[in-house]
Structure 1
Amino acid sequence: MPGLRGELAVVVCRTLPLGLVGAAGGTGLLMAALSRTTGEAGEWLALPLLRVAILAFAMGLVFLLDDPARHTTATVPTPRPVRIALRVALVVPVVAAWWTAALLLVPRELRPPVADITLEAGAAFVLAVATAVVAVRHSDIARPGPRLAAGLLTSAALVLLFWPKRWALLVPVEDERWAAAHDRWAVVLVGAVLVGVLGAGEPARRWSRPVVRGR
Structure 2
Amino acid sequence: MPGLRVELTVAVARTLPWGVVGAAGATGLLIAALSRTAGEEGDWLALPLLRAAILAFAMGLVFLLDDPARHTTSTVPTSRPLRVALRVALVAPAVAAWWTVALLLVPPDIRPPVAAVTLEAGAAFALAVAGAVAVVRCSDLTRPGPPVAAGLLTSSLLALLLSPPWWALFVPVDDDRWAAAHDRWAVLLAGAVAVGVVGAVEPVRRWSLRRAGPR
TM-score range, shorter chain: over 0.9
In the aligned structure 2, how far is the partner of 1:205 from the partner of 1:191? Answer: 23
Structure-2 residue corresponding to 1:130: 130
Q: State the alpha-carbon separation in 2 of the partners of residues 118 and 206 from structure 1.
A: 36
Residue 210 of structure 1 and its aligned partner are, at CA, apart by: 10
Gap regions ≥5 residues in structure 1: none
- Deviation string 1:98-124 (CA, Å, 9 cap, x unpaired) is 000000000000100100100000000
Q: Matches of 2:214 and 2:203 in 1, distance apart?
A: 21
- One-letter amino acid of the counterpart of residue 83, structure 1: R
Percent identity of equivalent pairs: 75
1:192 maps to 192
Q: Count residues with an aligned counterpart.
A: 211
Q: What amino acid is aligned across from residue 33 of structure 2 in structure 1?
A: A
- Cα gap change, 1:135 to 1:19, in 2 (>3 Å): same
Distance 1:183 1:126 in 2: 16
Seen in structure 2, the aligned counterparts of structure 1 residues 206 and 129 have a Cα distance that, compared at 3 Å, is closer
Which stretch of the first structure deviates more once superposed, 79-88 or 149-158?
149-158
- Please say if 1:159 is aligned against 2:145: no
Question: Which structure has the greater CA radius of gyration?
Answer: 1
Give the CA deviation at 1:52.
0.2
Q: 2: CA distance between counterparts of 1:80 and 1:96? A: 24
Query: Separation in 2 of the partners of 1:112 and 1:138?
Result: 38
Aligned-CA RMSD value: 1.5
CA distance in 2, matches of 1:24, 1:209: 38
Deviations 1:59-99 (A, max 9, x none): 10000000011111010000000000000000000000000
Q: TM-score, normalised by structure 1?
A: 0.95
The residue type equivalent to 2:4 in the other structure is: L
SS of 2:66's partner is: coil
Q: Give the AA of the match of 1:106.
A: V
Q: Retained in 1: the 8 A contact 2:159–2:168?
A: no
* Amino acid across the alignment from 1:135: V
Q: 2:160–2:169: 8 Å Cα contact kept in structure 1?
A: no
Give TM-score, length-normalised by structure 2: 0.95
Specify the alignment match of 2:20 in structure 1: 20
